[in-house]
Structure 1
């Protein structure tokens, strides 16, 4: 009986933790999108200049700034490159989060931006989203945690000698 209650508690715990996954991924995606838009706006003036003088090639604008004898322009080349790298980072993160639920989850496990991940974690508020995706995550998480606990408890019991029910097996076979 105690084992059943432990199993139910672990199922409920897994359910409550796993139901947070889609909400966290959604918050991360919104944060990525906000940073992506902000980076694009920061580059817009340079894009306009590159469009006017370098056929839209920002790298040509950077090379022009680097070729200048003026140290201010050379420093600006570094700043533009930094903005450009940041915009490309956010764009690639955003594109990775446009796939199916399992592609987003795989991206979050394998290649998130750690700065944004930490930022999302620090500002995340627990929520229960009752969407099919969240319900699926919750049930899968609950079943997985309950199954792992069951396997561990059964294994430990077998190692210690509990759960050896020879009388029951003899009763069934006779």
Structure 2
């Protein structure tokens, strides 16, 4: 009886963990989009300058700042370069979050920017969504966790099974 309750508890735990997946992916996508818009806004003036003088190429603008005789421009080259790289990173992340659900899940879990994922995790509020994708994730995770633990326990128990006991079952 205790074993049945443990199985149910394990299944419920898997279900609760699984329903968090779509919410976390959505929170990550929203975080990336907000940061991307913020980065674009921060680069707006530099993009206008690059459009006017360098055919819109921000890399040429940064290189111009680096090679300038003016120490102020040289100093600002690093700051602008960091802004440009950040905007490109956020654009790549945003593009990844426009793909199908399975690609989004894989990206967030394994290929997403660790710092962004950490920011989202620190502000994430656990919730039980009753959306179809959350229910599917929940049931899938619950079944996978239950199957994995059950298989592991059976595999660990296998060497300790009595051959004598096993033999009796065959002949009855």
In the superposition, the TM-score normalised over structure 2's length comes to: 0.92
* Residue aligning to 1:119: 119
Does structure 1 residue 22 correspond to structure 2 residue 22?
Answer: yes
Counterparts of 2:67 and 2:153 in 1: how far apart (Å)?
69
Deviation, structure 1 residue 170: 1.9
Does structure 1 residue 152 correspond to structure 2 residue 152?
Answer: yes
Counterparts of 1:169 and 1:113 in 2: how far apart (Å)?
55
Deviation, structure 1 residue 162: 6.6
Deviation, structure 1 residue 58: 1.4
Deviation, structure 1 residue 3: 2.1
Deviation, structure 1 residue 11: 0.7
In the superposition, the TM-score normalised over structure 1's length comes to: 0.91
* Residue aligning to 1:169: 170
Deviation, structure 1 residue 12: 0.7
* Residue aligning to 1:31: 31
**8 Å Cα contact 1:7/1:149 also seen in 2:** no
* Residue aligning to 2:64: 64
* Residue aligning to 1:102: 102
**8 Å Cα contact 1:50/1:57 also seen in 2:** yes
Counterparts of 2:126 and 2:162 in 1: how far apart (Å)?
40
Q: Deviations over 1:3-37 (max 9, x none)?
A: 22211111111111111111111111111111100
SS at structure 1 position matched to 2:120: helix
Deviation, structure 1 residue 157: 3.0
How many residue pairs are counted as aligned between the two chains?
Answer: 171
